[in-house]
Amino acid sequence: MSTDTGTGEKMKVLVYSDDAGTREKVRLAIGRRPAADVPLVEIVECATPPKAMQYLDSGEIAVAVLDGEARPAGGMGICKQAKDEIHDCPPVCLIVGRREDRWLATWSRADVVTSHPIDPIALADAVAGLLRRRAGRAVARS
Protein backbone atom coordinates (compact mmCIF):
# COMPACT_ATOMS: atom_id res chain seq x y z
CA MET A 1 0.00 0.00 0.00
CA SER A 2 1.26 3.46 -0.81
CA THR A 3 1.40 5.67 2.27
CA ASP A 4 3.40 8.69 3.26
CA THR A 5 6.10 7.32 5.50
CA GLY A 6 7.89 10.61 5.96
CA THR A 7 9.83 10.05 2.75
CA GLY A 8 7.42 12.09 0.67
CA GLU A 9 5.63 9.06 -0.74
CA LYS A 10 2.06 9.84 -1.74
CA MET A 11 -1.12 7.96 -0.85
CA LYS A 12 -3.06 6.85 -3.92
CA VAL A 13 -6.75 7.71 -4.19
CA LEU A 14 -8.81 5.85 -6.78
CA VAL A 15 -11.59 7.83 -8.45
CA TYR A 16 -14.08 5.67 -10.37
CA SER A 17 -16.80 7.10 -12.61
CA ASP A 18 -17.79 6.63 -16.22
CA ASP A 19 -18.37 10.40 -16.35
CA ALA A 20 -15.20 12.41 -16.98
CA GLY A 21 -16.90 15.51 -15.53
CA THR A 22 -17.61 13.71 -12.26
CA ARG A 23 -14.03 12.45 -12.07
CA GLU A 24 -12.80 16.00 -12.62
CA LYS A 25 -15.05 17.39 -9.85
CA VAL A 26 -13.79 14.73 -7.44
CA ARG A 27 -10.18 15.35 -8.43
CA LEU A 28 -10.56 19.11 -7.93
CA ALA A 29 -12.33 18.66 -4.58
CA ILE A 30 -9.58 16.40 -3.23
CA GLY A 31 -6.71 18.38 -4.68
CA ARG A 32 -3.11 17.48 -3.90
CA ARG A 33 -3.79 17.27 -0.16
CA PRO A 34 -7.40 17.23 1.12
CA ALA A 35 -6.35 18.37 4.62
CA ALA A 36 -3.17 19.79 6.15
CA ASP A 37 -2.62 16.77 8.41
CA VAL A 38 -2.73 14.08 5.71
CA PRO A 39 -0.08 13.11 3.16
CA LEU A 40 -0.06 14.33 -0.39
CA VAL A 41 -2.25 12.24 -2.66
CA GLU A 42 -1.90 10.86 -6.14
CA ILE A 43 -5.23 10.58 -7.95
CA VAL A 44 -5.70 7.44 -10.04
CA GLU A 45 -8.75 7.63 -12.32
CA CYS A 46 -10.67 4.90 -14.09
CA ALA A 47 -13.94 4.59 -15.95
CA THR A 48 -14.56 0.84 -16.15
CA PRO A 49 -15.54 -1.70 -13.49
CA PRO A 50 -12.77 -4.21 -14.37
CA LYS A 51 -10.11 -1.51 -14.06
CA ALA A 52 -11.58 -0.30 -10.74
CA MET A 53 -11.41 -3.83 -9.33
CA GLN A 54 -7.86 -4.26 -10.66
CA TYR A 55 -6.75 -1.08 -8.87
CA LEU A 56 -8.58 -2.00 -5.66
CA ASP A 57 -6.98 -5.45 -5.66
CA SER A 58 -3.48 -4.08 -6.36
CA GLY A 59 -2.78 -3.13 -2.75
CA GLU A 60 -1.59 0.30 -3.90
CA ILE A 61 -4.83 2.22 -3.32
CA ALA A 62 -5.20 3.94 0.07
CA VAL A 63 -8.77 5.21 -0.43
CA ALA A 64 -11.37 4.79 -3.17
CA VAL A 65 -14.01 7.31 -4.25
CA LEU A 66 -16.70 5.51 -6.24
CA ASP A 67 -19.56 7.09 -8.18
CA GLY A 68 -22.78 5.29 -7.30
CA GLU A 69 -24.36 6.60 -10.52
CA ALA A 70 -21.70 5.22 -12.88
CA ARG A 71 -22.65 2.95 -15.77
CA PRO A 72 -22.62 0.06 -16.59
CA ALA A 73 -21.77 -0.81 -12.99
CA GLY A 74 -22.36 1.67 -10.22
CA GLY A 75 -20.00 2.33 -7.37
CA MET A 76 -22.32 0.54 -4.94
CA GLY A 77 -21.92 -2.78 -6.73
CA ILE A 78 -18.18 -2.33 -7.08
CA CYS A 79 -17.90 -1.41 -3.39
CA LYS A 80 -19.89 -4.49 -2.32
CA GLN A 81 -17.84 -6.79 -4.54
CA ALA A 82 -14.54 -5.29 -3.37
CA LYS A 83 -15.49 -5.50 0.33
CA ASP A 84 -16.55 -9.14 -0.15
CA GLU A 85 -13.61 -10.28 -2.27
CA ILE A 86 -10.52 -8.19 -1.51
CA HIS A 87 -8.51 -8.84 1.61
CA ASP A 88 -7.75 -5.53 3.35
CA CYS A 89 -9.95 -3.60 0.94
CA PRO A 90 -9.21 0.12 1.07
CA PRO A 91 -11.83 2.37 2.67
CA VAL A 92 -14.48 3.59 0.24
CA CYS A 93 -16.23 6.92 -0.10
CA LEU A 94 -19.38 6.37 -2.14
CA ILE A 95 -21.11 9.21 -3.98
CA VAL A 96 -24.84 8.52 -4.29
CA GLY A 97 -27.37 10.22 -6.55
CA ARG A 98 -29.98 10.84 -3.88
CA ARG A 99 -29.81 11.13 -0.12
CA GLU A 100 -32.48 8.41 -0.02
CA ASP A 101 -29.92 5.99 -1.48
CA ARG A 102 -27.81 6.03 1.68
CA TRP A 103 -29.37 2.75 2.84
CA LEU A 104 -28.05 1.10 -0.32
CA ALA A 105 -24.63 2.52 0.43
CA THR A 106 -24.83 0.87 3.85
CA TRP A 107 -25.66 -2.43 2.13
CA SER A 108 -22.60 -2.01 -0.10
CA ARG A 109 -20.43 -1.56 3.03
CA ALA A 110 -19.18 1.90 2.04
CA ASP A 111 -17.17 3.57 4.79
CA VAL A 112 -18.43 7.09 4.03
CA VAL A 113 -21.30 8.36 1.89
CA THR A 114 -21.70 11.71 0.15
CA SER A 115 -24.18 12.74 -2.50
CA HIS A 116 -24.46 14.48 -5.85
CA PRO A 117 -24.11 17.32 -6.51
CA ILE A 118 -20.59 17.05 -5.17
CA ASP A 119 -19.87 19.35 -2.24
CA PRO A 120 -16.09 19.91 -2.52
CA ILE A 121 -15.61 20.67 1.18
CA ALA A 122 -17.63 17.66 2.38
CA LEU A 123 -15.89 15.35 -0.09
CA ALA A 124 -12.40 16.58 0.85
CA ASP A 125 -13.25 16.13 4.56
CA ALA A 126 -14.56 12.61 3.94
CA VAL A 127 -11.48 11.57 1.96
CA ALA A 128 -9.14 13.14 4.53
CA GLY A 129 -10.83 11.15 7.29
CA LEU A 130 -10.41 7.92 5.35
CA LEU A 131 -6.75 8.75 4.60
CA ARG A 132 -6.11 9.34 8.30
CA ARG A 133 -7.67 6.00 9.13
CA ARG A 134 -5.72 4.16 6.44
CA ALA A 135 -2.43 5.81 7.40
CA GLY A 136 -3.06 4.87 11.04
CA ARG A 137 -3.58 1.23 10.10
CA ALA A 138 -0.38 1.21 8.06
CA VAL A 139 1.64 2.67 10.94
CA ALA A 140 0.14 0.13 13.38
CA ARG A 141 1.36 -2.73 11.14
CA SER A 142 4.93 -1.41 10.93
Half-sphere CA count of 33, side-chain side, radius 13 A: 11
Rounded Cα–Cα distance for residues 26 and 35 (Å): 15
pLDDT at 6 over 50: no
pTM (two decimals): 0.89
Beta bridge partners of 110: none
Domains of the chain: 11-141 (3.40.50.2300)
Nearest to 94 by CA among 70, 60, 61: 70
What is the tens place of the pLDDT at every residue in 59-112?
Answer: 999 999 999 999 999 999 999 999 999 999 999 999 999 878 888 888 899 999
What is the tens place of the pLDDT at every residue in 127-138?
Answer: 999 999 988 765
Cis preceding linkage at 39, omega within 30:
no
Q: What average pLDDT does the structure give for the chain?
A: 90
